[in-house]
Amino acid sequence: MNKLITALATPYIDGKIDKLSYEKLIAFQLEQSVDALLAVGTTAEAQLLDDCEKKLLINIAKAMAGDVPVYVGIEGRSTHDAVQEAENAQKLGADGILVAPPSFCKCTSEGYRLHVEEILKCVSVPLILYNAPSRCGYQLNAEVVKSLSDRVHFVKDAGSDLDYTANIAQSSSVLCGNDGMLTQFLEKGAIGVISVVSNVAPRLTRDVLEGGDDCLFNKLANLTMREVSPIPIKYMLYKKGVFRSYEVRLPLTAARESTKNAIDEIWNKNID
């Protein structure tokens, strides 16, 4: 069965983490039998959270998840910072880590390989590589990804180059990181998804993973991309009654009226 991992969003009330809404989101995911949770990833606004807030979110997820694995996003812009984040995640009980490549400074292909190897030296939990060209400004070198394939658990591919996906899927277990192209990724060899849409519609996401009609899912996926993620999905979670607010943190801004209207037009309280 293809794997469904939800990239959890972070709810706020008056600028502070809304624990009750976060617990409600996790309970909903567990009721819908997702395969794993991803805490403090891109959808969680991880770069806008301090260390104490990250710890809180990880601890809540771990306390509630039981046997369901909790992966933790690692976004350190230097190797030193990434190693520290990985070690902290392991200490907090992470079942695996999702390692985003350095962004603003970027890195060479060899530098990226060494970056990952330094992390592998310091933690024993499974590691997911993260290809995120729209966020980081470059695509991971496919040959480097292949060279690391025997030491990593998955590769999350959030790009849109299907030839690249098919290439790395020959040696790695690929998870789709681009909801809007989920069906195409599966056709190219992906074995699951780390999904934004599944915050509000895990059952629908599962149906698509199992070959079901992707029409409604694609509409939701397109809506999540109308503005910078996680702006739209937080409004959807608010509409669904899971979050008490759709606040985001600067430099993000709350969903525009046009985005809210587009979501309102197709929204159905029975989406699950």
Q: Which residues are catalytic?
A: 130, 156
C-alpha to C-alpha distance for 163 and 213, rounded to whole angstroms: 24
Which residue, 119, 127, 161, is CA-closest to 142?
A: 161
CB 65 within 8 A of CB 23: no
Q: What ranges in the chain are assigned the alpha helix state H?
A: 19-31, 51-65, 79-91, 109-122, 133-136, 142-147, 162-169, 182-187, 202-209, 215-224, 231-240, 257-266
Task: DSSP for 62-100, please give it.
Answer: HHHHTTS-EEEEE--SSHHHHHHHHHHHHHTT-SEEEEP
Structure-block tokens of residue 2: 């293809």
